[in-house]
Structure 1
Amino acid sequence: MAMTMEHQRTNQQKTMRIEGGRELSGTIRLSGAKNAALPMIAAACLGEEPTILDNVPIELRDVQILIRVLREAGAYIALEGSSLACARGDFPRGTVNREASEIRYSLLLLGLAAAHRGELLLPMPGGCKIGDRKYDLHLMGLQRLGARIEETEAGIRVASEGGVGADIEFYLPTTSGTENLMIAAALASGRTTILNANTRPEIMEMAKLMNLMGAKVSCSNRVVQIDGQSRIQGGVRYAIMPGWDEAVTYIVASAMTGGEICIADFSLDFIREDVRHLREIGVDVFEWGGAVYASGKKQKRAFDLFTAPYPGINSDMQPIFAALAFTAAGKSTITDLRFTDRFRYVEELKKFGGSIHAFGNTAIVEGGRPLQGAHATATDLRGGASCVLAALIAEGESIITNVSQIERGYENIAGKLRQLGARIDTP
């Protein structure tokens, strides 16, 4: 899975050429959820014996980077198809590869090192540039569990001789911060209680995996409790949940083009608030026979959307709903209550000729106007996906650059959209 520097440069220069105006209809299957796979790969490395994770979205760049970083830091990871076998191996071993700075989930190596009573120097984490993404809650929580933390120009150094359970309260519900402390506390002595935790579906799934491996974790609304164990055996098998974010994106893509879609082997369990908004906007969505169906034949209505911790609309989805607003006559507003500066994509969407403006933590879209093909850049993962959605309904040809950002979270997005009838080339 080694990636040469030339391959990385090519990936960064990759473009997507889209001919708009085609109805998207048909059946697709989802990949495993990126934001479930990444923390579960790290959690599986708590185990002494290999744990097998199935339905891993192995083509995603972030997943590939995390695998390489964990391997180089000493973890045992073996790949077969879309399945990964993960165990501690001799993690942590030395300094982490600089490639870790490209993904935010590399932060979980700090919790993993603390759990295994080791020392690790982690380069400063990266991820999408979507405004203020602090990691102070990660460090505060790890220190409360007894880890020593030092921030230097070289990165973040963690060292631990063994954690001690504690009561930890977050000032806001952080997803990766909750996951990091779950990992760190799994092998600490005593009980750890995380208050105001994020308990979204990916975290519930991670808790199920950890419990199968031999940890003791319980999750309820905004509270996570971990009873530390002396060892985590591992040696189990678990499938990564389907990508709910993918599901919403493809439903919106089909709806924007007036099409009808079937998502096989999926349920509405994790996207009920998204579906409620989609129905209010005019998109028919229902579940039947183990699949989800959606139709965008009806006229779309303008809407007001506010992001919120689960079960509310996730901040990841606000750029997707912003693109959908182009097809709804009237004024729609999208307000992000988590990442208040997550609107860099707005300048790219303007290139398609639509009326969209952002100020503070809100975007305003005047929908119902035709879009024109444009050259746009994927500023981040979801912002890039919103540009693809706009291109699908724009008249003429559009070119999206920096596609590697989109491929961080959507496995084979061009192929899946082509399967629904889109005309897309990736020269």
Structure 2
Amino acid sequence: MMTTDITSAKTKHEIVIQGRKKLFGEVHLSGAKNAALPMIVAACLGEEETILDNVPTSLRDVKILIDILQEMGAIININSFTVSCRRGNFPNQSMAPSKSSEIRYSLLLLGLTAALEEVLELPLPGGCKIGDRKYDLHLHGLRKLGADVQENERGLKLVSSGLSGNNIEFYLPTTSGTENVMIAASLSRGKTTLLNANTRPEVLQLAELLNAMGAKVECKNRVVNVQGTDKIRGGVRVSVMPGWDEAVTYAVAAGVTNGEICIPNFNTSYIKEDVRYLRLAGVNVFEWGSSLYVSGKENKKTFDLFTAPYPGINSDMQPIFAALALAAEGTSTIADLRFTDRFQYVSEIKKFGADISSFGNTAIINGGSTLRGAKVKATDLRGGAACILAGMMAEGETIITNTTQINRGYENISDKLGKLGAAIYVR
């Protein structure tokens, strides 16, 4: 069946799936969205042009962030999956565009502005509506560095007249909050030590980029040290890491369809705990050469999963593993220890006839029953992906609406699944 990229036309808002097709073949990963976004912001610290390769440039969040930075004076050029960035005259205005409210990573404009000793008013950030996603740790970290950040009726206003290194401790590890402090502290005076930081792979790659550009960042075991400098040169070239979250999603897709897939140029180094749970659930995952192979031919088994800061299972992945649990006969449980309200997708999955319920921070999945195609809504990015997975398992036709949410994090997902044998298209 012909497939269509969900980014190709603004008028196309539904994904249609005919279920019960096994996936076979090779799927290539895009660059990781959550690595690319902070790297694009950090690259705008540089006085010279920094080039980023393997950027998922068709993703909605990436497009919006680049649009915002360009509108505010940064010099950014796109050539296919390569993006070149430098500061230019950012910020050329004190008010960020209203579109900043559409993505959560617009918060990193605060760290960039603070580092450059400027003023910025930022609309409150958007992103997935998955419960109480606070930004207080962002403000706490920037204030500890010396920035004045206030909330008003229009959003957040930051004034920076120079930053000084400090000791900062987070009450919980936040990915983008850690990245905001890293970006800001790079041009501070003195040393910053950030405790209980999130040092997941995307954060490590941000540190790699900042160091290549001329910053001095150490990032290890939930601790980040930044020795401030007075100049970030830039002028380097770095490739964005492959999308590990995309890899896990396609691995689960192979599992729930009893298929076999190969993911070239990828290994398990970023996803060791995810792989452990995949194997517990009966999905065979192994490396051969430079590729990852996934076989879902075995019977699926139940499991009990808890999300946790890296190297644990990221909260992003719990809807994906919930879909996997639907394929296992028996009861599985999933507890989200980060976003306790990240279960909006459960009501949509029930429409397939699934026996799934949630209360508090836990979902209970009684899997193994036959699912039926349904019309469902993508409540958020990963919830939408879980609906795609359920639709591929189900008998008959599934229609998924609000696909803009899915397009925020999966590049060409319908096309990639179609090439693996899924009967999926966009209309």
TM-score by length of 2: 0.97
Report the CA distance between 1:155 and its aligned residue: 1.3
Report the CA distance between 1:355 and its aligned residue: 0.3
- Among all aligned residue pairs of Structure 1 and Structure 2, give the percentage whose two residues are the same amino acid: 63
Report the CA distance between 1:387 and its aligned residue: 0.3
Gaps of 5+ in 2: 1-5
Asked if 1 retains the 8 angstrom alpha-carbon contact of 2:381 and 2:409, the reply is: yes
Instruction: Confirm or deny that 1:156 pairs with 2:156.
Output: yes
Report the CA distance between 1:76 and its aligned residue: 1.1
Distance in 2, matches of 1:370 and 1:157, equals 52
* 1:42 counterpart residue number: 41
Distance in 1, matches of 2:103 and 2:342, equals 17
1:14-413 equivalent positions in 2, closer than 5 A: 14-94=13-93, 95-413=95-413
**Deviations for 1:183-204, whole angstroms, at most 9, x for unmatched residues?**
0000000000000000000000
Report the CA distance between 1:12 and its aligned residue: 7.9
Gaps of 5+ in 1: 1-6
SS at match of 1:300: coil
**Deviations for 1:278-304, whole angstroms, at most 9, x for unmatched residues?**
111111000111000010000011110
Distance in 2, matches of 1:165 and 1:11, equals 45
SS at match of 2:352: coil
Distance 1:394-1:122 versus aligned 2 partners, 3 A rule: same
Distance in 1, matches of 2:396 and 2:67, equals 40
Amino acid at match of 1:69: I
* 1:3 counterpart residue number: none
Report the CA distance between 1:11 and its aligned residue: 3.9
**Deviations for 1:378-426, whole angstroms, at most 9, x for unmatched residues?**
0000000000000001000000000110010000000000010001110
Aligned length: 420
**Deviations for 1:297-316, whole angstroms, at most 9, x for unmatched residues?**
00011110000000000000
Report the CA distance between 1:227 and its aligned residue: 0.3
Distance in 1, matches of 2:317 and 2:132, equals 17
Report the CA distance between 1:153 and its aligned residue: 1.1
Amino acid at match of 1:205: Q
Distance in 2, matches of 1:116 and 1:122, equals 16
Asked if 2 retains the 8 angstrom alpha-carbon contact of 1:93 and 1:120, the reply is: no
Distance in 2, matches of 1:93 and 1:384, equals 37
Distance in 2, matches of 1:425 and 1:290, equals 31
Distance in 1, matches of 2:406 and 2:189, equals 41
**Deviations for 1:2-27, whole angstroms, at most 9, x for unmatched residues?**
xxxxx99x748610000001001110
Distance in 1, matches of 2:198 and 2:289, equals 31
Amino acid at match of 2:69: L
SS at match of 2:31: coil
Distance in 2, matches of 1:172 and 1:267, equals 29
* 2:3 counterpart residue number: none
Moved >2 Å (runs of 4+) = 10-13
Distance 1:187-1:151 versus aligned 2 partners, 3 A rule: same
SS at match of 1:301: coil
Instruction: Confirm or deny that 1:424 pairs with 2:424.
Output: yes
Amino acid at match of 1:373: G
Distance in 1, matches of 2:23 and 2:370, equals 18
Distance in 2, matches of 1:143 and 1:73, equals 23
Amino acid at match of 2:180: N
Asked if 1 retains the 8 angstrom alpha-carbon contact of 2:44 and 2:74, the reply is: yes
Distance in 1, matches of 2:299 and 2:80, equals 42
**Deviations for 1:228-285, whole angstroms, at most 9, x for unmatched residues?**
0100000000000000000000000011000001000101100000001111111100
Asked if 2 retains the 8 angstrom alpha-carbon contact of 1:12 and 1:404, the reply is: no
Distance in 1, matches of 2:92 and 2:267, equals 41
Asked if 1 retains the 8 angstrom alpha-carbon contact of 2:12 and 2:426, the reply is: no
Distance in 1, matches of 2:10 and 2:189, equals 44
**Deviations for 1:116-174, whole angstroms, at most 9, x for unmatched residues?**
00001111100000011000010011111111111111111111111000000000000
Distance in 2, matches of 1:88 and 1:164, equals 21
